[in-house]
Structure formats: structure tokens, C-alpha cells
Amino acid sequence: MSDTSAKLPTGQMFDMPASVPAGMRLELSRARLLPGAQEETERWMGMLHDRYEGCLDTLSAERMAFEATFRHTDADGTENITDTTGGHDA
């Protein structure tokens, strides 16, 4: 396995595309919001925006190059949070 490989939750390994630098780890996760969690999600997302500089300060300690979190509502009304991170392997 090369240093540009990644592991799926199933344990299966796959090679990262050539556009991803060696040693870089990319992760994408998605979670459905529980019913009634919208208000708490709004509060949490607001806190992240309010503390933006502090959030940036934590990235290097976590060996992260970037992190982006999105809230999305599907056509059927289901709400999801998607988190994308990119960092260097430890």
C-alpha cells in the first residue's frame, strides 16, 4: 500500500487520486440530524462562526490543513451535516 492510500470504514484500502499529495489524508463524513436537533445545530454552527480564529488555531495541533462543515436539507426535509477534512498522516 502506498502513502497515498486511504482506508474505508469497512477496512478496505483504496489509492487516493494523483491530485492528493503524498501523506495527505482526506475524510468526508455525513450525519443525519436527529428530530428536534435543529436549534442546537444552529447554536453550534453559530459558535463556530463566532470563534473562527480560535477554530483556525486548532487546525495545526490536529495536523489538519482544512475543515469545512455544511448543513444541508434534502428535498424530503431531512437535514444533514457534512464534514470535510484534509490533513497530514501522523
| Distance, CA of 84 to CA of 68 (rounded, Å) | 5
Q: What percent of the chain has pLDDT over 70?
A: 83
Residue 27 in grid coordinates:
475524510
Structural domain range at position 65: 5-88
Q: What's the CATH code of the domain at 70?
A: 3.30.70
Alpha helices (H) along the chain: 38-50, 52-61
Domain count of the chain? 1
Long-range contacts of residues 21-24, Cβ cutoff 8 Å, at least 24 apart: 23/88, 23/89, 24/65, 24/86, 24/87, 24/88, 24/89
Q: Dump pLDDT digits (tens) for 30-51.
A: 999 998 888 898 898 898 889 8
Tell me 17's DSSP state.
Answer: P
Q: Contact at 8 Å (CB) between 30 and 85?
A: no
> What per-residue confidence (pLDDT) applies to 23?
80
